[in-house]
Amino acid sequence: MSRRRTLSTKKKVALLVSAATVAGGGAFVMASTSNAAPPPQTAAQSSVCQGLATALGNNERFIEGQRSAPDAQSQARIANRQAVIEQIKVQQKASGCVVGESAQGSQAAQNGQQGNGNANGNANANANGNANGNNGNGKGNQQATTPPAQTAPGGNGGNAAGNAGNNGAAAGQQVCNGSTVTLSGEAGAPAASSNQFPAGTKLKVTNLDNNKSTTVEVTSVSGSCVLLNNAAFEQVREPGKFLIRRALIQKVG
């Protein structure tokens, strides 16, 4: 006949309480871990965040330009773009990005091109002045000794030539080479804004990553070659992305 050890009622209750405490603690730890929100992502960590940061930066750049060279409509344009910036910040928060992060990624290529224009303009002015001076041309000597403040238009001429090249492009010709495209955050029918083309210009923007394209009319000024408003961007975007890295931009009208 075997003996079976039996636990007293008190010991059974104590064991059950201990087990419940351990289980409850584990559940609390798991719940705390699962509820911890991940840190917001930066533009360098996410293409979505980069697109939104670039859009924010473009709008901030536009506002700076309006404040530095105001006209009768500047206050209205600034108020509109400030509202757009607030909407972009809402999108940044919803996408898990750093709210308020700004970038000028879409301007890098254009700024580089403008910088080259300035350098080439100044280099050409200096080279022409030196060459004329060496040839005994009095005008060359005058150009060679012209104060820097007066040689600046040579560089501006390089910028003007670049803009004129875009504006004078034939129908279907590619423009704004190397530019990325993002959204302005503005509502309304599909449209674009630009610092290269006047209102009324028609541009075809193709996203080479998915071969989707849209043809839109420039209706306002922005801080980059082309910014698409929300409706136009939806026609060519990749799901979840706010930046088109490989874009083909063509002037069609």
Both structure tokens of 17: 């309480």
The greatest distance separating any two alpha carbons of the chain, rounded to the nearest whole angstrom, comes to: 130
Contact between 175 and 249 under an 8 Å Cβ cutoff? The reply is: yes
Query: What does residue 139 show for φ and ψ, rounded to 5 degrees?
Result: -65, -35
Specify the pLDDT at position 109: 39
List the structure tokens of 35. Answer: 């509820």
Nearest to 242 by CA among 100, 110, 97, 109: 97
- Burial of 163 (C-beta count, 10 Å sphere; 0-12/13-18/19+): middle
What pLDDT is stored for residue 163 in this prediction? 53
Q: Say if residues 71 and 23 touch (Cβ distance below 8 Å).
A: no
pTM beyond 0.75: the answer is no
Angle of helix 148-167 versus helix 108-134 axis, rounded to 10: 130
The CATH label, of 1.20.1250.20, 2.60.40.10, 2.40.40.10, 1.20.120.420, for the domain at 172-251 is 2.40.40.10
List per-block mean pLDDT (blocks of 10 residues) for the chain, which spans 253 residues.
Answer: 55 57 51 67 88 88 89 84 87 90 59 43 44 43 41 39 56 84 90 92 95 95 88 94 92 91
pLDDT at 198: 93
**CA quadruple 159, 113, 183, 85: dihedral positive or negative?**
negative
CA distance 196 to 154: 19
pLDDT tens-place string over residues 109-164:
344 444 444 444 444 444 444 444 444 444 444 444 444 433 333 334 444 444 54
**CA atoms of 245 and 207, how far apart (whole Å):** 8
Q: Which token pair is 142?
A: 């005058």
The structure tokens 């879409």 sit at: 106
